[in-house]
Chain A
Amino acid sequence: ETGVTQTPRHLVMGMTNKKSLKCEQHLGHNAMYWYKQSAKKPLELMFVYSLEERVENNSVPSRFSPECPNSSHLFLHLHTLQPEDSALYLCASSQGMTGELFFGEGSRLTVL
């Protein structure tokens, strides 16, 4: 495996479900990110982990809960989501908090 991999690629869930998105990077980077991409809106930064510590949380609702057990893995736990949370969720990594991000292919989430 190379680069940044995300699973699942597609997820459909009801508003009462609990699910998790997984991200793994094989680049030896020390920073990992979750971004949300909605139609016709800029990429929105949700969470940043640098050296396994959360350094940014952009006022994200508590129904999104990140977890970074080590520098190679990042999770986004989802519970009681709303239909407006339907979007493409992108994981990225970088060496240091530069703007040189390497993105995974994304997880397309649909909330019914």
Chain B
Amino acid sequence: QKEVEQNSGPLSVPEGAIASLNCTYSDRGSQSFFWYRQYSGKSPELIMFIYSNGDKEDGRFTAQLNKASQYVSLLIRDSQPSDSATYLCAAGVYGQNFVFGPGTRLSVLP
């Protein structure tokens, strides 16, 4: 059974620090990886995706992928209280079901 694992948290970081969120996946055939942010009481929204090994940067967010280790991470630089949310990792292959992890709750302390 395909699984995506995340530490449920909460992960607490002070404002301005780097938040590091991690995700591992079981299906070695996974090719596409997504990070979603879900605020309390809201629906998930896509913030980043990554297909290739290495780093991908978008503003304060950096996604990192290591297919050999089956590991994906999301770094948030200069964390803000508004970044406090649950972050969901998803992995899969185009044309097939994408599997979500349970999410990591991030709390950025002012």
* Cα of A75 to Cα of B90 in the assembled complex, Å: 24
Q: Which of B46, B99, B100, B102 contacts A100 (CB 8 A)?
A: B46
Cβ contacts under 8 Å, B92 to chain A: 99
Min CB distance A46 to B, Å, is: 11
Q: Classify chain A's interface size.
A: 20 to 34
Stretch at the interface among A64-72, A79-87, A101-109: A101-109
Interface set of A (CB-CB < 8 Å, partner B):
40-43, 45, 48, 56, 58, 90, 96-106
Task: Please classify the interface of chain A as helix (H, G, I), strand (E, B), loop, or mixed, using the class held by over half of its residues.
Answer: loop
- B32 and A42: CB pair below 8 A? no
Min CB distance B4 to A, Å, is: 7
- A103 and B100: CB pair below 8 A? no
- A97 and B94: CB pair below 8 A? yes
